[in-house]
Amino acid sequence: MIAGNFKILEDKILAACKSAGRNRSEIILIGVSKNNTISAIKEALNIGIRDFGENKAQELRDKCLLFEGDFNWHFVGHLQTNKVKYVIEPAEYIHSVDSSKLADEINFRAGKINKRQKILFEVNTSEEDSKYGLTKEDEVFKLADYCSGKENLEICGLMTMAPYTDDEVVIKKSFEKLNSLKGKLVTRGFNLRHLSMGMTNDFELAIREGATMIRIGTALFGHRDYNKSWKEE
């Protein structure tokens, strides 16, 4: 099933790249494997997926022990300071940095294992107060300045979740906001490579608006069954 989903998904990604005049190689497909089983992830590895996203710290901590090989884990969910210790070893990227307190803890934990942790700042571009992330541009500038002095942090980009809606105008606005903010940070001297935006419902739009990382769960692994644990095969 995953192989079939992957083929359909890749065709859509390629078509979106083509219509946006972009190269497929500019975009990293992150298979969001949260709540998905070990065998599902193995299947995805077998067909060549090399980036996986998790949103629960303990799930990543436990899952990552069951795999080895040359691929990356991304932590994409909200991260509590007291759980940084669980993700600091496996996470190639942490997408959800949204406070100086969290940044401090990541810097501290990364320092302890001699790591330079790649981070993205999570931005709430949707003007909904239910979501995590920084809301104001000024807050992002401040946090970026704050983190730029930290030895064990590498600022790599920005992440957002668009509002859950069918209204393409609203979604587009959210992605444009993130892209424009990236531009402003680049002007301020930050060498940002990544825009992490686009999920199953909106990745084509995200590609058009400049995404370099798309985070796809459902379109790849199928619907998540939260009545079942990832530990059940």
Ligand X SMILES: *Cc1c(COP(=O)(O)O)cnc(C)c1O
The residues of the shown chain that bind ligand X, judged by CB under 6 A, are 32, 34, 55, 76-77, 161, 199-201, 215-219
Minimum distance, C-beta of residue 120 to ligand X, in the bound complex (Å): 11
Whose Cβ is closer to ligand X: residue 71's or residue 132's? 132
Minimum distance, C-beta of residue 188 to ligand X, in the bound complex (Å): 26
Q: Which residue's Cβ has the minimum distance to ligand X? A: 217
DSSP characters over the chain:
-HHHHHHHHHHHHHHHHHHHT--GGG-EEEEE-TT--HHHHHHHHHTT--EEEE--HHHHHHHGGG--SS-EEEE-S---GGGHHHHTTTEEEEEEE--HHHHHHHHHHHHHTT--EEEEEEB--S--TTS-SB-SHHHHHHHHHHHHT-TTEEEEEEE----SSS-HHHHHHHHHHHHHHHHHHHHTT----EEE---TTTHHHHHHTT-SEEEESHHHH-S--TTS-TT--
CA distance 92 to 169: 33
The residues, ordered by sequence, that sit 6+ positions from 139 with a Cβ below 8 Å of its Cβ are none
Whose Cβ is closer to ligand X: residue 87's or residue 219's? 219
Minimum distance, C-beta of residue 139 to ligand X, in the bound complex (Å): 19
Minimum distance, C-beta of residue 215 to ligand X, in the bound complex (Å): 4
Minimum distance, C-beta of residue 226 to ligand X, in the bound complex (Å): 11
Q: Please provide the distance, in angstroms rounded to a whole number, between the alpha carbons at the two ends of the chain.
A: 15
Minimum distance, C-beta of residue 221 to ligand X, in the bound complex (Å): 8
Whose Cβ is closer to ligand X: residue 135's or residue 201's? 201
